Amino acid sequence: MAEIVLGLGTSHSPQMNTPVEQWDLHAERDRSNPELWFRGRAYQFDELETEMLAMHPGLAAELEPSTWADQLARAHAATARLKGALSQAAPDVVVIVANDHREMLEVNLPSLSIYWGDSIDSIPIPEEEVPESIRPALKARQKEFVESYPCVPDLGLHLIESFTQEHFDVAEISVQPAGKGIGHGFTHIRLLLMDDPIPMVPVIINSYYPPNQPTATRCIEFGQALERAISAWRDPRRVAVVASGGLSHFVVDEEWDRRVLDALGARDWATIAKIRDEEMMQGTAEVRHWIAAGAALADLEMEVVDYIPAYRSTAGTGCGLGFALWTAGEKRGI
């Protein structure tokens, strides 16, 4: 039987691959965002700025270049730690739980999908088609040429069949739409955490786009079913499960992020299940990947490698950058 030997959780924000002298580009993008979601409601930038400065009188100090440089260095150090853990564990397969930002699945976005083709391609997007704020991080999202990632169709098919037996309506994808590359939630894992491609199974949760986003409870159930399916796979290969994305963004909510991380570490599914859909909007929606992966990794012990509240504007916009490991053995705490 297969064995889950490692779990990883990592943010994939372009902010963590942008030089600090260009973080202002992300703040400019935030200013033009008509709906900045924070704690269950949408704000405009100016309205949010007033509220945030009242809540965080010291917020301006978080926007100093020296603070940004320290945060960027911490993000790179945490990424290196995860990469080292993945290399040391040397899994045969990596199951990556992420979303698709209408990169590969442009027309139809099922709530839950599994790709089970022989391989999947990363197709570079021309720089002129990418927002200016994203361009500095583009090399961390894609190579300059098409790269084919090996997949594990046998495991992908097994997962689909197992989920179907457990009454999950999971879309199966065996053929990549012509000209559409796999999303940056997956390429981030390949390019930043692997020296050479490790065979993968892409598990796609529609975390970002209403109206068919799965609830927190459904993500728990999906992750638990994922663990059962992997453990029942008759091929005795070693499997890593990776959550890609999150945490809170485009508005940082440190309290919320830490509460979620604490609950995941404690396997406190009752607390996780209470997260409302309106708390998981825009980029914060990607916490669904962490919930599903955390439920699949419940037999391992979670360590938060780092949590970085990376603010980039006086409205509190930015990204709560999270990095975590799930390993066997003595629990090292949060």
Sorted by where each begins, the domain ranges of the chain are 3-327
3-class secondary structure, 280: coil
Q: Would the pLDDT of 319 be above 90?
A: yes
Q: Tens digit of pLDDT for each residue in 287-301?
A: 999 999 999 999 999
Domain covering 3-327 in this structure, CATH number: 3.40.830.10
Q: What pLDDT sits at residue 301?
A: 97
Q: What pLDDT sits at residue 224?
A: 98
In 138-206, where do the E strands start and end?
A: 147-150, 171-173, 200-205
Alpha carbon distance 314, 132 (integer Å): 21
Q: What pLDDT sits at residue 304?
A: 98
Q: What pLDDT sits at residue 33?
A: 94
Q: Would the pLDDT of 332 be above 50?
A: no
3-class secondary structure, 121: strand
Burial class for 160, CB neighbours closer than 10 Å (0-12, 13-18, 19+):
buried
Q: Tens digit of pLDDT for each residue in 55-104?
A: 999 898 899 999 999 999 999 999 999 999 999 999 999 999 999 999 99
Alpha carbon distance 264, 262 (integer Å): 5
Phi/psi class of residue 246: alpha, beta or left (left: φ > 0; alpha: ψ in -120 to 50)?
left
Residue 136: band (very low, low, confident or very high) from pLDDT cuts 50, 70, 90? confident
Q: What pLDDT sits at residue 153?
A: 98
- Give the single-character DSSP code of 189: H
| pTM for this entry | 0.96
Alpha carbon distance 110, 107 (integer Å): 10
Q: Mean pLDDT over residues 310-314, rounded?
A: 97
Q: How many residues does the chain have?
A: 334
Residue 141: band (very low, low, confident or very high) from pLDDT cuts 50, 70, 90? confident
**DSSP tally for the chain: helices H, then strands E:** 9, 12
Q: Tens digit of pLDDT for each residue in 159-217?
A: 999 999 999 999 999 999 999 999 999 999 999 999 999 999 999 999 999 999 999 99
3-class secondary structure, 176: coil
Side-chain-side CA neighbours of 242 within 13 Å: the count stands at: 32
Residue 142: band (very low, low, confident or very high) from pLDDT cuts 50, 70, 90? confident
In degrees rounded to 5, what are phi and psi of residue 101? -90, 55
Q: Mean pLDDT over residues 17-43, rounded?
A: 94
Respond yes or no on whether the N-terminal peptide bond of residue 211 is cis (omega within 30° of 0).
yes
Alpha carbon distance 116, 323 (integer Å): 27
Q: What pLDDT sits at residue 139?
A: 81
Q: Would the pLDDT of 53 be above 70?
A: yes
Q: What pLDDT sits at residue 333?
A: 39
Pick the closest to residue 153 from 190, 189, 200 (CA basis): 200
Residue 32: band (very low, low, confident or very high) from pLDDT cuts 50, 70, 90? very high
Q: What pLDDT sits at residue 279?
A: 97
For tokens 């980029």, the residue is 283
How remote is the C-alpha of 167 from its chain's centroid?
A: 25
Alpha carbon distance 175, 291 (integer Å): 28
Burial class for 209, CB neighbours closer than 10 Å (0-12, 13-18, 19+):
middle
Q: What pLDDT sits at residue 133?
A: 85
